[in-house]
A and B are shown apart, each in its own frame.
Chain A
Amino acid sequence: MTRSTDGKYRALWPRGPRQAKVKSLARRLDTLEGKTVAWLWDYLFRGDEIFAQLEEGLQERYPGVNFVHWSEFGNTHGSEEREIVAALPKTLKAKGVDAVVSGMGC
């Protein structure tokens, strides 16, 4: 950081330091057979209909897959989202969830 003394501007970086470090993602499953998949929904973009279709499609491919309905968790994009998201690790563990599908974005 040097001062501007020669008629030129030495402009500083305007951003702040990133605080989020790159995280490791959860290990992927070998199969969905016999596993429990949870749906998390932000109550947007017809996720309820899309999740129902996905559930049927997954069930056809993996007859032994189980699901936890989005209504078991509440809205992940509403007035209670912070509480709901903060409680997810505990809730998912309590419900025996192996994998999560979270939607909907646009």
Chain B
Amino acid sequence: MVLAKAASGGLGMPNLPVAPFPGHPGLQSIEALQRNTREVTLAGVVENLLKPPSLVAVDGEPGPRDVICSGTFEEVNEHFIAHELSDGLPIVPPTVEKVEAFLRFTDRGPDEVLGVLLPDSRSATVWSVAVNGVMAGCRPEYMPVLVALVEAMADPAYGVEHSGNTPGGETLIVLNGPVIKQFGFNYMQGVMRDGFQANTTVGRFWRLYLRNVAGFLPHKNDKATFGNTWRVIVAENEDVLAKIGWPPNCTEFGFPAGTNAVSIGRYTGGNHISSVSGATPEALLPYLADAVVRQYSWQIMFTVGQGMGTLRPLILLSPIIAETIAAGGWSKQDLKQKLFDHARMSAREFERILRDWTQKPIWDLAEEHKAGHIPKVFHESDDPKRMVPLVFKPDDYMIVVTGDLGRNSCYVFAHNGVLGYPVGKEIKFAARDA
């Protein structure tokens, strides 16, 4: 009810009637579900179909360049917290001088609209990017990175409108290109840890922009059951990539190596895989494949069901793991193929998870294959013990090399499928800075 009311307002229908259902259907017996539907929901549906909805007035809002608060640092912060415009940490007051300083680092006009973001249906302007960048504590020169991120956020393929869904997945931003060293992004030990200004403030910017412009506020449009704090930027170790001849992550999105680029994807969780040991890729593969499978249960509904081929597992490899795999003659593409071939579960288990745990109407692999919805690899026989992949194709795997130079670790992210599909954008500097 809360989400429906909040989301319908952003779509221009604040008086859209909603029929209540008591409790959560997922935890009710058939009898309780039937009783609740008949005794409560039915009356709401009838009323909503027959009774004209009440008219509502929409409150006015400040203009994009309006000063909404004037005061000391503390007073400004109190105002922003009281009006739900802050994430709870102190913000840098976004004054016009600071915003203009950011705008000097882009050739984009301040009123240029990068997209319209659901659920609030607000214009993502270059101006608002600068305002939120100031608030997050970014340096003005980060502005081109921020613009690229909002372009990615606004890409329909990413699906920003799903950012407040139940699993509370959080976006991971991967950075490529010379900009990593230019701005001092951490791409080595502790790459996902806060404590590095560029990684931390740009990561904070992402969540502030989701809040202030897209409109994802906890207890309103953000219905994450638990949620996560925003993630800091993960920059790739392009020195190691160059050494082993593997392409950087930006090539997944059509940008050649050496391009300054951001990519985003939403992940519901992940796990650190320690002590990945072995002198050859063949020795390392079983542990890696097993780690991938263990991260995926309900998320396979993004492979077959809700998402249909939109699951894209992301694996971070520490440099010495990548170097060992490459030294054995495997390319990044080879590793993707091996994960596709070996990170598998039985068809019986795959169907059981979809049928019994996700309670979705799509779970029969034979039926879906016959209907042409999924590849043949999911139904090469009727043997329930046959092993099926987690994804549609090897290229659905994404591999990023980063982290501690001296540790043999990996990190596997559980992807949120179509509700945060990976998207990449080039970072474009102002002509004078290019």
Contacts and interface: CB of A to CB of B under 8 A. Distances in A.
B64 A4 contact: no
A53 interface: yes
Interface stretch (B128-136, B242-250, B292-300, B313-321): B128-136
B34 A53 contact: yes
Contacts of B45: 54, 58, 101
Nearest to A42: B306
Interface residues of A, number: 51
B309 A50 contact: no
A12 B65 contact: yes
Interface in B154-211: 156, 166, 208
Given A19-B122, A21-B12, A57-B38, A8 B61 contact: no
Interface in B96-124: 96-97, 99, 116-117, 120-124
Interface string B358-378: 011110000000000000000
Nearest to B309: A79
B50 interface: yes
A84 interface: no
A58 B45 CA distance: 9
A22 interface: yes
Nearest to B17: A25
Nearest to A56: B38
A18 B13 CA distance: 13
A89 interface: no
A30 B93 CA distance: 54
Q: Which range holds the interface residue count of chain B?
A: 35 or more
Given A10-B96, A106-B166, A15 B38 contact: no
A84 to B, nearest CB: 13
Contact of A14 (B4, B30, B41, B132): B132
Interface in A1-17: 1-4, 8-17
Contacts of A23: 12-13
Given A10-B96, A23-B13, A50-B33, A17 B76 contact: no
A8 B70 contact: yes
B49 A12 contact: no
Given A10-B96, A45-B25, A20 B76 contact: no
B121 A19 contact: yes
Contacts of B95: 3-4, 9-12
Contacts of A14: 80, 85, 94, 128, 131-132, 135, 208, 212-213
Q: Which 3 A-B pairs rank lowest in CB-CB distance, beginning with the nearest?
A: A9-B93, A20-B12, A20-B121
Interface of B: 1, 3-4, 10-16, 18-19, 21, 24-26, 30, 33-34, 37-38, 41-42, 45-46, 49-53, 56, 58, 61-73, 76, 79-80, 85, 93-97, 99, 116-117, 120-125, 128, 131-132, 135, 156, 166, 208, 212-213, 223, 305-310, 359-362, 418
Interface of A: 1-4, 8-23, 25, 27-32, 37, 43-46, 48-50, 53-54, 57-58, 61, 75, 77-80, 82, 99, 101, 104-106
Given A10-B67, A15-B128, A22-B14, 12 more contacts: A8-B70, A10-B95, A13-B65, A15-B85, A17-B61, A23-B12, A29-B50, A43-B305, A43-B360, A50-B37, A54-B37, A79-B309
